[in-house]
Each structure stands twice: as structure tokens, then as C-alpha cells.
Structure 1
């Protein structure tokens, strides 16, 4: 919604016709505001991906407790695991697993 800077009334939209572009007009005074028909891009911003730090370092993963859990990719039967509280306190903990053979990581919960 646009308002007239002269009298404060709400401006009306007029379709382009007879050589004039689309515009806003004031119903009570002679104020007219032409609308540009093209969008101009002022500058291009190149987006750069952030580097993500690992949640667990290799040293942390070596210290995971070991359990008999089958790896979904290589079916190896040993994996390291750690439990982390990732949500609110009344939610169950998330268990992160890492295969001891192929180092594939997955989670449950």
C-alpha cells in the first residue's frame, strides 16, 4: 500500500495504457508516481560455502566405547558409540556410531 506524500490518501494503481507505464495515482490531487517495469540488479554477490568443523575429532572417535552393532554399509559387527543429549532434557539421548572397519558414521534417536 502506497500513500500520497502530498495529501496522505491511498494511491490507486493504474494499468499501463496509451503510452504511459503502470503508475500509482492520487484520487484527490494530481500526484502521479510511475512504476518502473524492469527490475535492476545492482550487484552480484557470490555465495561462499562455510567450512564445517567436525562434531567429533579423530581423537574423540578413538575413545568411543565399543559395542556389537552392525554397520549399515559394510556389515562389520563392531562399532564405537557415544551418547549425546542433542534435544531437550525430556527427550531421549542421540547415539552416534562409527564403524571400526570402514569409519562410516550414523546415528539413532
Structure 2
């Protein structure tokens, strides 16, 4: 497919032209940002002052995600900052 350089419209092939045109273009891959998942996912999250329900530590990592429909509020996931505890919980 070819597009007009000035207006961006798709260029049409005229009927009666039988010559095949082959054009190859190498694509450059974009650099991707690392995605953290699993055990280290929360280590890069923001911290907040909240009490862990298991060990009563006063700080926790948190992140918010929209896991239900768009008209529902976001869910907040927490992980205790205490390395011994590391308890995870969520609030809807």
C-alpha cells in the first residue's frame, strides 16, 4: 500500500497496469520499558502510611488498578514494607 505524501490518502492502482511492484522496508523496533511482575513488582511502587493487618507495621507499598468495569472504583493493592512480613491485601 502506498499513501500520498501530502494528504495521506491511499493511492489507487490504475486498472490495466500489470507490472508488480515490490517494496521492502525494514522496521526499527522501539525500546521497551521494563515491566515488573511477581515478587519484585511492589518494590518499585509508591509507599503510603497504612497499617498492615498482620504485623501492624505502619508503611506499605501500594498500586491502583482498574480490574472491574469502568464505572466501578479502582482497586488498591498493598504490600507490607516489613521484609519479614510482606503481607499483601487489597481494598476495593
In structure 1, the partner of 2:46 is 65
Please say which structure displays the higher CA radius of gyration. 1
RMSD value, Cα: 0.9
Spell out, residue by residue over 1:49-102, the C-alpha distance to the aligned partner (whole angstroms, 9 max, x if none).
xxxxxxx41221111100001000000000000001010011000000000111
Task: Point out where structure 1 has 5 or more consecutive residues left out of the alignment.
Answer: 1-55
Runs (4+) of structure 1 moved beyond 6 Å? none
Distance 1:63 1:100 in 2: 12
Task: Point out where structure 2 has 5 or more consecutive residues left out of the alignment.
Answer: 1-36
Q: TM-score, normalised by structure 2?
A: 0.56
1:100 is aligned, of 68, 81, 89, to 81
Aligned residue pairs total 54
Distance 2:75 2:47 in 1: 16
Q: TM-score, normalised by structure 1?
A: 0.48
